[in-house]
Amino acid sequence: MKLKTNTKEIDIEICDTFFKRFLGFMFQRKVITTGKYFPNCNSIHTFFMFQGIDLVFCDASGNIVKRYENFQKMKILLPVRGACCVYELPLNTVKDLKNETKLTFIKD
């Protein structure tokens, strides 16, 4: 799947199993160029990650509730009110996004 933002299309892996949700981008040393989608999630941590990421929290309709640019490694982000899913994205992805923008998936 791909995620379409205002300016980019990003390959997305859906993390819908325990192992995928647990692992995320932990222990990945190469530069992150794809994204991960975590349904039914409203908080994250970046322990055991080697680089920062961009984060987007969306509501049930896919509208952006909150976004974080360059969220650093070894941090905890407490639950975001109104969010029901999280996108972990490569750096510099959320620059052009605004809150309440709707994100859409494109099937390959």
Q: 108 pLDDT band (50/70/90 cuts)?
A: low
* Domain range annotation of the chain: 2-95
pLDDT at 106 over 90: no
pLDDT at 79 over 90: yes
What amino acid occupies position 58? Answer: C
Instruction: Check: CB of residue 54 under 8 Å from CB of residue 77.
Output: no
In terms of CATH architecture, what is 2-95? Sandwich (2.60)
> Residue 72: is it exposed, middle or buried by C-beta count within 10 angstroms (0-12/13-18/19+)?
exposed
Per-residue model confidence as pLDDT tens digits over 38-48: 999 999 999 99
Question: From CA 72, how far away is CA 88, in angstroms rounded?
Answer: 12
The secondary structure element, H or E, covering residue 22 is helix 18-23
32 vs 97, which has greater pLDDT?
Answer: 32
